[in-house]
A and B are shown apart, each in its own frame.
Chain A
Amino acid sequence: MTKYITKRVVYMFLSLFLIASFTFILMKLLPGSPLASAAKLSVEQREVVYEKYGLNDPIPVQYVRYMGNLVQGDFGTSFQYKNVDVSYLIVKKLKYSAILGAQAIFVGTIIGIILGMIAALKQNTIWDYGSTIVAILGISIPSFVFAALLQYVFAVHWQILPVGLWDGWTSSILPSIALAMGPIAIAARFIRTEMIEVLSSDYIMLAKAKGANWFEIAFKHAFRNALIPLVTVLGPVAAGLLTGSLVVEQIFAIPGIGEQFVKSINSNDFSVIMGTTMFFSVFLIVIILIVDILYGIIDPRIRLAGGDK
Chain B
Amino acid sequence: MEKVIEVKNLELSFHTFAGEVKAIRGVNFEVNKGETLAIVGESGSGKSVTTKSIMRLLPESSTEFKNGEILFGGKDLLKISEKEMQKVRGKDISMIFQDPMTSLNPTMPIGRQIMEPLLKHQKLSKADARKKSIELLGLVGMPKPELRMKQYPHQFSGGQRQRIVIAVALACNPKLLIADEPTTALDVTIQGQILELMKDLQQKIDTSIIFITHDLGVVANVADRVAVMYGGQIVEVGTVDEIFYNPQHPYTWGLLSSMPSLDAAEDKLYAIPGTPPDLLAPPKGDAFALRSEYALKIDLEQTPPMFKVSDTHYAATWLLHPDAPQVDPPVGIVERMKTFPGSRYYTGNAGGAN
Contact = CB atoms under 8 A, between A and B. Distances in A.
Nearest to B86: A211
Contacts of B117: 210-211
B35 interface: no
B180 to A, nearest CB: 10
Contacts of B89: 208-211
Nearest to A300: B152
B73 to A, nearest CB: 15
A199 to B, nearest CB: 10
B57 interface: yes
Which of A201, A298, A300: most chain B CB closer than 10 A?
A300
B308 interface: no
B120 A301 contact: no
B94 A221 contact: no
A207 B168 CA distance: 10
Interface string B318-334: 00000000000000000
A124 B102 CA distance: 26
A86 to B, nearest CB: 44
Contacts of A210: 89-90, 94, 116-117, 120, 168
Contact of B103 (A202, A211, A220, A301): A202
Contacts of A203: 102-106
B168 A212 contact: no
B107 interface: yes
Contacts of B103: 202-203, 205-206
B272 interface: no
Contacts of B99: 202
Contacts of A213: 83, 86
Contacts of B336: none
A224 interface: yes
Interface residues of A, number: 21
B121 interface: yes
A299 interface: yes
B91 interface: yes
B8 interface: no
Contacts of A300: 106-107, 152, 154
A209 B94 contact: yes
B234 interface: no
B229 interface: no
A124 B61 CA distance: 10
Given A299-B107, A300-B107, A301-B154, A209 B55 contact: yes
A193 interface: no
A202 B106 contact: no
Interface in A172-225: 201-203, 205-213, 220-221, 224-225
Contact of B57 (A209, A221, A224, A298): A209
A201 to B, nearest CB: 6
B106 A225 contact: yes
A208 B57 contact: yes
Interface string B150-184: 00101000000000010010000000000000000
List of 4 A-B pairs having minimum Cβ-Cβ separation, nearest first: A211-B90, A210-B90, A202-B102, A300-B152
Interface of A: 124, 201-203, 205-213, 220-221, 224-225, 298-301
Interface of B: 55, 57, 61, 83, 86-91, 94-95, 97, 99, 102-108, 116-117, 120-121, 152, 154, 165, 168
30 contacts: A202-B99, A203-B102, A203-B105, A205-B57, A205-B103, A206-B95, A206-B97, A206-B103, A206-B165, A206-B168, A207-B105, A207-B116, A208-B57, A209-B57, A209-B89, A209-B97, A210-B168, A211-B86, A211-B89, A211-B91, A211-B120, A212-B86, A212-B120, A213-B83, A221-B105, A224-B107, A224-B108, A225-B106, A225-B107, A298-B107
